[in-house]
Chains A and B, each alone.
Chain A
Amino acid sequence: MTGRVIVITSGKGGVGKTTTSANIGTALAKEGYKVVLIDTDLGLRNLDLLLGLENRIVYTIVDVIEERCKLRQALVKDKKNPNLQLLAAAQTRDKSAVNADQLREICEKLKEENDFVLVDCPAGIEQGFQNAVAGASEAIVVTTPEMSAIRDADRIVGLLGPKEEIESCKLIINRVRPSLIKSNEMMSVEDVLGILEIPLVGVIPEDTGIITSTNKGEPIVNDEEALAGKAYRNVAQRILGEEVPFLDLDEPKGFVAKIKNAFAKWKAKV
């Protein structure tokens, strides 16, 4: 088996790299694929928290590299889905504890036994970024419809471009707020795409459910109702090669508006 190694990166911090990694990983595992999530944010690990695995971590990626344990020992199985495993970052070390070659080697080993290896990249463009990208052949750039995030994403796209190993580089636009776009207070998906010019793989709406899901350590893809969860499940489908239409985020939320909307849809069908 030769799995796909995908790095999830953004440049800017706080745009949702880790949330995206946790959710795509969980969604792919739910589809029955074997997935390993690697947290490469040494010193600032958080992927364990989003997955609710923080109390199960015994060994970290640094322990693997410094040969205090076998790679297999350091993989923490997800509570719900044994297809999903986490290789946690060390919390007490900094980015210099690991180099690109070591990460590449770990990715090589992991992809032999897994369908997907998702690498959660730290913010920034320094060593941590270079390490995370080293073993990957695909990249997903996460941004939000904000100037600073888009600018940083553009920088990342520019840095990934010359790397021969990276065969594809796709975009996720996170925390989209349709109401703001409607009132022209936020850049639309088209606006962002016009600037970044890389293929789109997902549009994730701002969803307060993300807060609750983070609190509980349960990725939102497990919530069948949540719109953001659905959006992430769609991303997983697209990664698997399915053609899935992008969610219609304009759907009104109110009760009356929902009826109106349903009526309009029904009318359109007839």
Chain B
Amino acid sequence: MGLFTDIYNTVAKFFRQQDEAVIGEESKSVATNRLKLVLMQDRTNLTPRVLEQMRGELVDLLSKYLEMDKELLELNFEQEGDQVALMLSIPVIRAKDEDEIEEALNKANSEESFEEEVSEETESKEESCEDTECSSAEECSEEEPKPKKKRSKKVSTPEGLEGNSEEHHEEENICENTEV
């Protein structure tokens, strides 16, 4: 069996059909993903930077209430006629219990007042980085909390996104990552 597949693969490689199929598939998915992102930008008039920021802040917000798989969080804008809808798909691992939620909310509140007092200076706050309080999916690993820049709080209001404006207000409370 193995021998046959070997021979088949060698022959296929020789004719480069298999190779081309693989390359074609790859570039197709590259194209699809690039296009999705670009269309999202076009439909909402948001720049990549703002989108990434928005994603991060949504993760912060939802992390207060849910434990979720941040890597798989999908943020999409779908257009139907004149209306743009924000589609958010998040694999939820579990809902947090009340205490955890309260803790997260308190933390966010204290940070908010803290932010008002001190503007940009880095302060040391000794708290372990629980995965529920990560402020960004990519940058926070559970083992080593990294010093992190404060996110800017302003999100420019997207034109043509009337339906979603409330979400932006709520996002103003930013759950910050542990700062060292």
* Residues in chain A within 8 A of chain B (CB atoms): 49, 52, 54-58, 91-92, 211-212, 214-217
Contact = CB atoms under 8 A, between A and B. Distances in A.
Contact of B37 (A55, A58, A212, A216): A55
B34 A212 contact: no
Given A54-B34, A54-B38, A212 B49 contact: no
A198 B45 CA distance: 42
A215 B47 contact: no
B28 interface: yes
Interface in B41-84: 41-42, 45, 47-49
B93 interface: no
A150 to B, nearest CB: 30
B27 interface: yes
Contacts, number: 35
Contacts of B147: none
Contacts of A57: 47-48
Interface string B138-163: 00000000000000000000010000
Chain B interface, >50% SS class:
helix
A91 B49 CA distance: 16
B45 A92 contact: yes
Contact of A215 (B27, B42, B45, B159): B27
A217 B34 contact: yes
B118 interface: no
Given A49-B38, A54-B38, A55-B37, A216 B45 contact: no
B174 to A, nearest CB: 23
A233 to B, nearest CB: 21
A52 B34 CA distance: 9
Contact of A91 (B24, B37, B42): B42
- Residue picked from B23, B34, B45, B49, most chain A C-beta under 10 Å: B34
Interface of B: 23-24, 27-28, 30-31, 34, 37-38, 41-42, 45, 47-49, 159
Chain A interface, >50% SS class:
loop
A216 B49 CA distance: 21
A58 B47 contact: yes
A193 B34 CA distance: 38
9 contacts: A49-B34, A49-B38, A54-B38, A56-B48, A91-B42, A91-B45, A92-B42, A92-B159, A215-B31
A122 B112 CA distance: 49
Contacts of B34: 49, 52, 54, 215, 217
A166 B47 CA distance: 36
Given A91-B42, A92-B45, A54 B27 contact: no
Contacts of B49: 58
A92 B160 CA distance: 11
Given A58-B49, A92-B45, A214 B37 contact: no
- Residue picked from B23, B27, B42, most chain A C-beta under 10 Å: B27
A55 B48 contact: yes
A217 B47 CA distance: 19
A69 to B, nearest CB: 13
Contact of B27 (A55, A91, A92, A212): A212
A108 B31 CA distance: 35
Contact of B24 (A49, A212, A214): A212
Nearest to B15: A255
Contacts of B42: 91-92
A73 to B, nearest CB: 14
Contact of B23 (A58, A91, A212, A217): A212
A32 B49 CA distance: 31
Contacts of B38: 49, 54
A49 B34 CA distance: 8
A254 B38 CA distance: 39
